[in-house]
Amino acid sequence: MTNPITPSDKEKNKGFWRSLITWALLALLLRWFVVEPRWIPSGSMLPTLQLQDRILIEKIRPRVTRSRHSHLRRNDVVVFSPPEQLIALGYDPNAALIKRLVGLPGDVLTVQQGRLLRNGESADEPWLLEAMNYAMPPTTVPKDQVWVMGDNRNASLDSHLWGPLPEKNVIGTAIWLYWPINRFGPIRIPEEAGNG
């Protein structure tokens, strides 16, 4: 003889499904609005990030800073949607790219003798392994835009080639490397590197 399902069993089942749906919705909201996993598809951020690294990006600060007409910090590693210049060259508008933010609105940037100069002073960039093998004329970063460059400067398609990035294109800031496990930990910005 089978046991009939009682009203209290039905309520427990409803409670279980409500809880499951609630947690699933919270997980989706967390991913869409707070933290999102990403992977590194190219070598433009070597040596900081390797090909196929898995990282977490936080997505709150770019939204909050935009709403307050404030800015992200220099030296942040940012994930962003391709600007119009790259979309015109065939980039998928839904793709996500990753670079280091090196210039804020109003900064004057130039590359001379293999080094990035910001507002007339050499930028402290301890993550670079080699000097840049190109020059860049002085450029002022426009209002509501930022300048991004890969850490592997000589193999990076970045602002020195396509220009400034609208702040609104920034999706989030890389904060944590979770794979491979032997490099698990925060994506650090050296303390001696200046912030904006």
Largest CA distance in the chain: 87
For residue 69, pLDDT beyond 50:
no
Q: What is the pLDDT of residues 117-172, one digit of tens each?
A: 999 999 999 999 999 999 999 999 999 999 999 999 999 999 999 999 999 999 99
How far is residue 169 CA from its own chain's centroid?
A: 10
Catalytic residue among 81, 99, 156, 159: 99
99 is catalytic: yes
Classify residue 182 by its DSSP letter: G
What's this model's pTM, rounded to 2 decimal places? 0.76
Q: Report the CATH architecture of 35-186.
A: Ribbon (2.10)
How is the chain split into domains, by residue range? 35-186
Catalytic residue among 44, 81, 156, 159: 44
150 CB-contact burial (10 Å; exposed 0-12 / middle 13-18 / buried 19+): buried
pLDDT confidence tier of residue 196, bands split at 50, 70 and 90: very low
Q: Where is pLDDT greater, at 36 or 62? A: 36
For residue 192, pLDDT beyond 80:
no
Q: Distance between CA atoms of 63 and 175, rounded to whole angstroms?
A: 16
Per-residue CA distances from 3 to 9, 14, 17, 139 (Å):
11, 19, 22, 78
44 is catalytic: yes
